[in-house]
């Protein structure tokens, strides 16, 4: 993943809300905390965030409400103008774009899905999905063709002529997803897309989403307040609090190695064995200490539990998907993950 | 700690609020009591103190607006060019006036009734179809087709014009805050300005006749459209806006494809209000000589032909209900999908059906005369008979003695003494009283407005007439409170009756205000009492309506808590329901006062001695300055109450956490 080009590069980005944020940020003393800023009458929506998103990666931004996650993603698409720092998309500083260029960027590269769907109530499913295509002036026949394809992709065939209010929440979000994909965006923003749905539908939509992602391989920034959802979907998770990123890492490492108290609190109730993969425990320096049949690096510890209990080796070799040994896993450590270390 | 400081702060403001109005009141009473010793200028402002505001305004209009800026040439061009063309077009279609497109005959009534029926069915099923078709059939059969079409042909131009202006102004106000701030006070004044003040400038700048009527109507009907558009656009959910932006909309695309369609409901509510206000006003343009329903009604009432008046009144009411119901049905009518593969003619069946019915009747009207026009002899009007019946009824001794008694009691015991009392109060004391009222009700800011506004009234030179106007308003609203509030309380006791009464009130509120004169004139003839009584009828409606609404909207936990605390019905009403409902009722009270100011001016044509009478007189001439001064007086008095009461209602609502 490190070799993939960087799509979104966000360096020391700030977003302050208040009377005169740009001025305030310039004269603000270094190391001013969230509460200090608040005492001065400003709200830090995004606080000194640096973050890169690579091509084809799924980055999940996780945080409770008011943590700034939605604000951050809106800064990426410049629905909000940042107060300080830089955000580059494909190497281009988006704050430097003219209105026309910004519209062009959104028309060609970005798609976004919203928590309450954001469907236009006066348009049918088909017209909603075709809306971004209409905006960029594609001809009627082409956009119909493409919209129907997207509707098929999200499994809403036969409902093209329904109006949003005639659909269930899950179906409405499928329309939202189809619309966001209509222009074949490179970057896909999803702002709590499943939070407004009830738990059963949510699960189903997550599966659907994983299927789509496998098919499409987009660069994704996904927002959620649900830690389980984040663990389930993410390549990397960024956990936010008070506008700042507490920790940004793979799910395995966040669970195994939470870096702040706040992150630790989230991970406490998590069944780690379901999250941690053998690959995360593999130590390349100890490859020589292990022998015998390797385990797959992308198997979770939970999946390996039976073997871990019965296997008598102290170190078990771990192989990647090509079959090459990438390191050795300490069985004791793996068992600790499985059983929960005291 | 914070709580304590908050508390002490509160009690301090409460003290000054309680204190100041009381001192003002004491001062006012002192002035009243000692008025025979006071210098004259404290009792009535001397003539020499009154600035010649009317002349100044006249100079402004004549010398600057007309002779220097030649603004009237622009307006006359508009009146004689595009506006006249549009009015001519609708007049040709509906009344057969000799204008473009030069159809020989107006559209047959049966064809219009048929289209209204289909439209009604599309919007609201059989009931609405019956209402739509029935209204036009009634109109034709009563022999009122021509005058109705005269009214509707103006409405058909004024309402779309008002819609368009309101929409554009609403969008501008939403987009640019400064414009919003600038027009808010203007709209507030416009909504309280008596309609005579719309009429005279319309005549002067836009020629006599339908053009002036259309302009006055349009201007009068536009403010709510502006407000509703702004409200609707502000309410569009941020996610829809962001979805539009992320779809790469340009600003124009955002406005036309995202904002306006998403604000559909509010904009259509605005359309409904534009139509209803247009109807109310177009009827009133009778006072500048516009022919049509209003003109005929005015003529009939003037010659005391009650039967015909009643028939025309019913027509106006039917049209009002029809327009209101249909436009409201349009608000709630949301698009529904057709199954895939539904053929075109089924998707558009209503349109095809309407066209078919239209053509059918258009053709058959060429052969069957009665479908084209109901002649004078053929009409079912029984105006004369009704007239006889009403007059006969009024002549029955018992009825006569009851109305006579009522008139006597009202006049001798209530109205005249009250009026004389108000006139007896010296100007300076009156000012103090008004300020004390506004202060105790609304607080400092409304009090400041009250002081400025009533001082302006005092310096306008029309103090006595203003006070007489105010007296009619206060007396009428007081009487209608005695009727409307108990009625509302009683009706709100059961769900069923609350609903029914609300329906009646809502329907009654759609009637053009002019109509309310009818029952009053029928009962009391053309007398002073009639004026007050017509206002009473008009203002009882909002009072009852808001009382019901306030009481029905008391949270059920509160009434249940009261029940569980063992409250009797009366205790529950007085201790729980009324206090919670009071802010809403205050809104109704405020509306009643606004309506009363409106009605008292209309009633002027019966013969009063107030501002309305003078205003009506200005219509005959070109006294724009005087017309404005009088109109603004009414507006200032109305706004004083409006600001104070609404401020109270809002504060109270906030305090109650509603």
For B430-457, how does the pLDDT look when each residue is reduced to its tens digit (9 = 90+)? 999 999 999 988 888 999 999 999 999 9
More reliable by pLDDT, B105 or A112: A112
- Find the mean pLDDT for residues A206-230: 90
Report the number of distinct structural domains present in chain B: 2
Do A112 and B246 lie within an 8 Å CB cutoff? Answer: yes
The pLDDT score that the predictor gives to residue A100 is: 92
Report percent pLDDT > 70 for chain A: 99
In a domain, B35, yes or no: no
In a domain, B128, yes or no: yes
ipTM over 0.90: no
The pLDDT score that the predictor gives to residue A73 is: 93
Distance from CA of A118 to the nearest CA of B (A): 4
CATH of the domain at B477: 1.10.3720.10
Sort out which chain A residues have CB atoms less than 8 A from B338's CB and list them: 161
pLDDT digits (tens, 9 = 90+) for A280-296: 888 888 888 888 888 88
The pLDDT score that the predictor gives to residue B656 is: 82
B110-119, B120-129, B406-415: segment of lowest average pLDDT: B406-415
Do A166 and B261 lie within an 8 Å CB cutoff? Answer: no
Whether residue B270 sits in one domain with residue B415: no
pLDDT surpasses 90 at A112: yes
Whether residue B84 sits in one domain with residue B209: yes
Q: In what order do the strands lie in the sheet with A295-296?
A: A282-283, A325-330, A315-319, A295-296
Mean pLDDT of chain A: 89
Of the partner residues A116, A119, A135, the one whose CB lies closest to the CB of residue B248:
A135
Q: Does B257 touch chain A (CB under 8 A)?
A: yes
Of the partner residues A115, A121, A161, the one whose CB lies closest to the CB of residue B338:
A161
A69-83, B277-291, B377-391: segment of lowest average pLDDT: B377-391
Whether residue B318 sits in one domain with residue B171: yes
Of the partner residues A74, A136, A162, the one whose CB lies closest to the CB of residue B248:
A136
Domain definitions of chain A by residue range: 1-90+229-270, 273-339
Q: Does B343 touch chain A (CB under 8 A)?
A: no
Do B336 and A166 lie within an 8 Å CB cutoff? Answer: yes
Report percent pLDDT > 70 for chain B: 97
More reliable by pLDDT, B526 or A229: A229
Sort out which chain A residues have CB atoms less than 8 A from B243's CB and list them: 112, 114, 118-120, 176, 179
Q: Does B243 touch chain A (CB under 8 A)?
A: yes
CATH for A1-90+229-270, options being 3.40.50.300, 3.40.50.360, 3.40.50.720, 2.60.40.1180: 3.40.50.300
Other C-beta atoms closer than 10 Å to the C-beta of B380 total 11
Confidence at B241, pLDDT banded by 50, 70, 90 = very high
pLDDT digits (tens, 9 = 90+) for B180-203: 999 988 888 888 888 888 888 888
Confidence at B3, pLDDT banded by 50, 70, 90 = very low
Of the partner residues B239, B244, B337, the one whose CB lies closest to the CB of residue A116:
B239
In a domain, B27, yes or no: no
How many Cβ pairs closer than 8 A exist between chain A and B?
Answer: 84
pLDDT surpasses 50 at B4: no
Distance from CA of A106 to the nearest CA of B (A): 5
Taking the domain A273-339, which CATH number applies? Answer: 3.10.580.10
The pLDDT score that the predictor gives to residue A341 is: 60
In a domain, B439, yes or no: no
Do B247 and A119 lie within an 8 Å CB cutoff? Answer: no
pTM of the model: 0.85
- In chain B, whose CA is at the least distance from the CA of A118? B240
**Residue A187 token pair:** 């970057």
Domain limits at B473? 396-425+460-656
**Residue B477 token pair:** 């609203």
Whether residue B316 sits in one domain with residue B232: yes
Report percent pLDDT > 90 for chain A: 50
The pLDDT score that the predictor gives to residue A126 is: 93
**Residue B617 token pair:** 């007189």
Return the half-sphere exposure (C-beta side, CA atoms, 13 A cut-off) of residue B410.
20
Q: Taking a C-beta distance cutoff of 8 angstroms, is the pair A150, B291 a contact?
A: no
Judging by DSSP bridges, how do beta strands A244-249 and A236-241 pair with one another?
antiparallel
Whether residue B403 sits in one domain with residue B311: no
Do B243 and A179 lie within an 8 Å CB cutoff? Answer: yes
In a domain, B5, yes or no: no
The pLDDT score that the predictor gives to residue B271 is: 94
Whether residue B384 sits in one domain with residue B400: no
pLDDT digits (tens, 9 = 90+) for A85-101: 999 999 999 999 999 99
Q: Does B253 touch chain A (CB under 8 A)?
A: yes
The pLDDT score that the predictor gives to residue B5 is: 39
Q: Does B424 touch chain A (CB under 8 A)?
A: no
Mutation pick from B243, B259, B335, B340 vs chain A, by most beta carbons of A within 10 Å, is: B243
The pLDDT score that the predictor gives to residue B119 is: 93
The pLDDT score that the predictor gives to residue A313 is: 86
pLDDT digits (tens, 9 = 90+) for B59-82: 887 777 777 777 788 888 888 888
Strand partners, A329: A282, A316
Of the partner residues A110, A122, A158, the one whose CB lies closest to the CB of residue B340:
A158
What one-character-per-residue DSSP string does B3-19 give? HHHHHHHHHHHHHHHHH
Cα separation, A249 vs A256, whole angstroms: 11
**Residue B481 token pair:** 């409170």
pLDDT surpasses 90 at B641: yes
Whether residue B385 sits in one domain with residue B268: yes
Do A179 and B247 lie within an 8 Å CB cutoff? Answer: yes
Whether residue B643 sits in one domain with residue B596: yes
pLDDT surpasses 80 at B421: yes
- Find the mean pLDDT for residues B582-600: 91
Whether residue B525 sits in one domain with residue B409: yes
Cα separation, B536 vs B474, whole angstroms: 10
More reliable by pLDDT, B98 or B575: B575
In a domain, B476, yes or no: yes
In a domain, B54, yes or no: no
Of the partner residues B246, B264, B337, the one whose CB lies closest to the CB of residue A162:
B337
pLDDT surpasses 60 at B553: yes
The pLDDT score that the predictor gives to residue A245 is: 93
H/E run at residue B479: helix B463-491
Distance from CA of A58 to the nearest CA of B (A): 20
pLDDT digits (tens, 9 = 90+) for A130-189: 999 999 889 999 999 999 999 998 889 989 889 999 999 889 999 999 999 999 899 999
Sort out which chain B residues have CB atoms less than 8 A from A190's CB and list them: none
Whether residue B305 sits in one domain with residue B222: yes
End-to-end CA distance of chain B: 27
Whether residue B416 sits in one domain with residue B491: yes
Cα separation, B442 vs B446, whole angstroms: 6
Distance from CA of B99 to the nearest CA of A (A): 39
Q: Tell me how long chain B is.
A: 658
Mean pLDDT of chain B: 86
Do A135 and B338 lie within an 8 Å CB cutoff? Answer: no
Whether residue B419 sits in one domain with residue B359: no
In a domain, B60, yes or no: no
Q: Does B246 touch chain A (CB under 8 A)?
A: yes
Q: Does B237 touch chain A (CB under 8 A)?
A: yes
Cα separation, B246 vs A77, whole angstroms: 8
- Find the mean pLDDT for residues A17-23: 90
Cα separation, B406 vs A89, whole angstroms: 82
- In chain A, whose CA is at the least distance from the CA of B250? A103
What one-character-per-residue DSSP string does A267-297 give? HHTS-HHHH-BHHHHEEGGGGGG--SSPEET
- In chain A, whose CA is at the least distance from the CA of B334? A122
pLDDT digits (tens, 9 = 90+) for B124-166: 899 999 999 999 999 998 888 989 998 999 999 999 999 999 9
pLDDT digits (tens, 9 = 90+) for B7-29: 444 444 544 545 788 888 888 88
């Amino acid at each position: 993943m490190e070799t993939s080009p960087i799509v979104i590069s966000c360096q020391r980005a700030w977003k302050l809300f208040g009377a005169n944020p740009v001025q305030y940020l310039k004269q603000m003393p270094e190391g001013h905390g969230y509460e200090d800023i608040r005492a001065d009458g400003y709200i830090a929506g995004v606080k000194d965030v640096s973050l890169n998103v690579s091509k084809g990666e799924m980055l999940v931004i996780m945080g409770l409400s008011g943590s700034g996650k939605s604000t951050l993603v809106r800064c990426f698409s410049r629905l909000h103008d940042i107060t300080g720092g830089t955000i580059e998309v494909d190497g281009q500083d988006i704050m430097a774009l003219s209105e026309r260029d910004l519209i062009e960027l959104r028309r060609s590269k970005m798609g976004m899905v919203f928590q309450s769907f954001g469907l236009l109530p006066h348009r049918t499913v088909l017209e909603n999905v075709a809306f971004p295509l209409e905006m960029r002036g594609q001809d009627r026949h082409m956009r119909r063709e493409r919209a129907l394809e997207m509707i098929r992709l999200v499994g809403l065939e036969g409902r093209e002529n329904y109006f949003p209010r005639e659909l269930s929440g899950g179906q409405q979000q499928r329309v939202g997803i189809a619309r966001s994909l209509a222009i074949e965006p490179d970057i896909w923003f999803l702002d709590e897309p499943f939070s407004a749905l009830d738990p059963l539908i949510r699960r189903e939509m997550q599966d659907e989403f994983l299927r789509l992602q496998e098919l499409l391989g987009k660069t994704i920034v996904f927002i959620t307040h649900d830690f389980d959802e984040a663990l389930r979907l993410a390549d990397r998770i960024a956990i936010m609090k008070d506008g700042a990123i507490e920790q940004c890492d793979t799910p395995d490492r966040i669970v195994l190695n939470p870096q702040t108290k706040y992150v630790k609190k989230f991970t406490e109730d998590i069944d780690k064995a379901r999250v941690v993969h053998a690959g995360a425990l593999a130590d390349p320096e100890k490859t020589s200490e292990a022998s015998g049949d390797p385990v797959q690096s992308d198997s979770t510890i939970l999946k390996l539990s039976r073997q871990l209990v019965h296997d008598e080796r102290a170190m078990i070799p771990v192989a990647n998907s090509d079959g090459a040994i990438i390191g050795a896993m300490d069985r004791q450590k793996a068992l600790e993950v499985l059983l929960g270390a005291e | 700690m914070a709580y304590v400081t908050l508390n002490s702060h509160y009690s301090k403001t409460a003290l000054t609020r309680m204190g100041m109005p009381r001192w003002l009141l004491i001062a006012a009473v002192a002035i009243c009591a000692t008025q025979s010793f006071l210098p004259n200028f404290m009792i009535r402002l001397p003539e020499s103190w009154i600035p010649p505001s009317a002349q100044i305004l006249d100079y402004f209009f004549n010398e600057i607006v007309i002779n220097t800026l030649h603004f009237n040439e622009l307006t006359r061009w508009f009146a004689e060019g595009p506006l006249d063309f549009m009015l001519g077009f609708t007049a040709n279609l509906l009344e057969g006036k000799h204008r473009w497109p030069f159809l020989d005959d107006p559209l047959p009534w049966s064809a219009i009734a048929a289209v209204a029926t289909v439209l009604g069915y599309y919007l609201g099923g059989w009931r609405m179809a019956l209402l739509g078709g029935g209204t036009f059939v009634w109109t034709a059969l009563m022999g009122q087709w021509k005058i109705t079409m005269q009214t509707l042909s103006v409405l058909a131009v004024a309402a779309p014009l008002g819609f368009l202006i309101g929409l554009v102004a609403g969008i501008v106000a939403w987009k640019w805050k400064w414009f919003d701030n600038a027009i808010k006070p203007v709209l507030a004044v416009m909504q309280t300005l008596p309609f005579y003040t719309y009429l005279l400038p319309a005549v002067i700048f836009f020629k006599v006749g339908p053009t002036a009527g259309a302009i006055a109507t349009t201007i009068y009907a536009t403010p709510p459209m502006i407000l509703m558009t702004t409200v609707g656009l502000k309410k569009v959910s941020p996610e829809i806006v962001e979805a539009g932006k992320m779809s790469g909309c340009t600003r124009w695309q955002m406005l036309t494809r995202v904002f306006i369609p998403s604000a559909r409901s509010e904009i259509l509510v605005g359309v409904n209000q534009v139509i209803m206000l247009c109807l109310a006003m177009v009827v009133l343009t009778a006072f500048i000589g516009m022919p049509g329903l209003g003109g005929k009604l005015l003529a009939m009432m003037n010659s005391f032909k009650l039967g015909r008046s009643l028939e025309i009144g019913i027509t106006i009411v039917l049209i009002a209900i029809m327009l209101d119901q249909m436009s409201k049905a349009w608000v709630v009518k949301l698009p529904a999908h057709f199954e895939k593969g539904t053929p075109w003619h089924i998707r558009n069946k209503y349109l095809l059906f309407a066209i078919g019915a239209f053509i059918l009747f258009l053709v058959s009207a060429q052969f069957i005369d009665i479908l084209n026009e109901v002649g004078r002899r053929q009409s079912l009007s029984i105006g004369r008979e009704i007239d006889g019946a009403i007059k006969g009824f009024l002549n029955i001794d018992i009825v006569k003695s009851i109305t006579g008694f009522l008139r006597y009691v009202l006049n001798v015991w209530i109205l005249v003494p009250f009026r004389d009392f108000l006139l007896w109060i010296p100007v300076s004391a009156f000012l103090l009283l008004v300020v004390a009222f506004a202060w105790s009700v609304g607080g400092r800011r409304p009090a400041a407005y009250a002081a400025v506004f009533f001082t302006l009234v005092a310096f306008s030179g029309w103090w006595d007439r203003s006070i007489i106007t105010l007296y009619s308003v206060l007396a009428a609203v007081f009487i209608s409170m005695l009727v409307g509030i108990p009625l509302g309380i009683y009706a709100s006791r059961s769900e069923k009756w609350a609903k029914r009464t609300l329906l009646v009130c809502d329907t009654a509120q759609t009637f053009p205000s002019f109509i309310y004169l009818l029952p009053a004139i029928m009962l009391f003839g053309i007398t002073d009492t009639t004026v007050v009584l017509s206002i009473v009828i008009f203002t009882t409606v909002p009072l009852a309506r808001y009382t019901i609404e306030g009481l029905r909207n008391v949270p059920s936990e509160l009434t249940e808590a009261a029940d569980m605390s063992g409250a009797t019905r009366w205790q529950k009403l007085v201790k729980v329901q009324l206090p919670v409902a009071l802010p809403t009722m205050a809104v109704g009270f405020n509306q009643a006062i606004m309506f009363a100011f409106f009605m008292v001016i209309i009633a002027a044509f019966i013969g009063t001695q107030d501002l309305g009478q003078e205003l009506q007189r200005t219509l005959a001439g070109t006294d724009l300055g005087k017309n404005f001064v009088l109109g603004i007086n009414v507006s200032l008095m109305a706004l004083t109450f409006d600001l104070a009461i609404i401020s109270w209602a809002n504060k109270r609502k906030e305090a109650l956490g509603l």
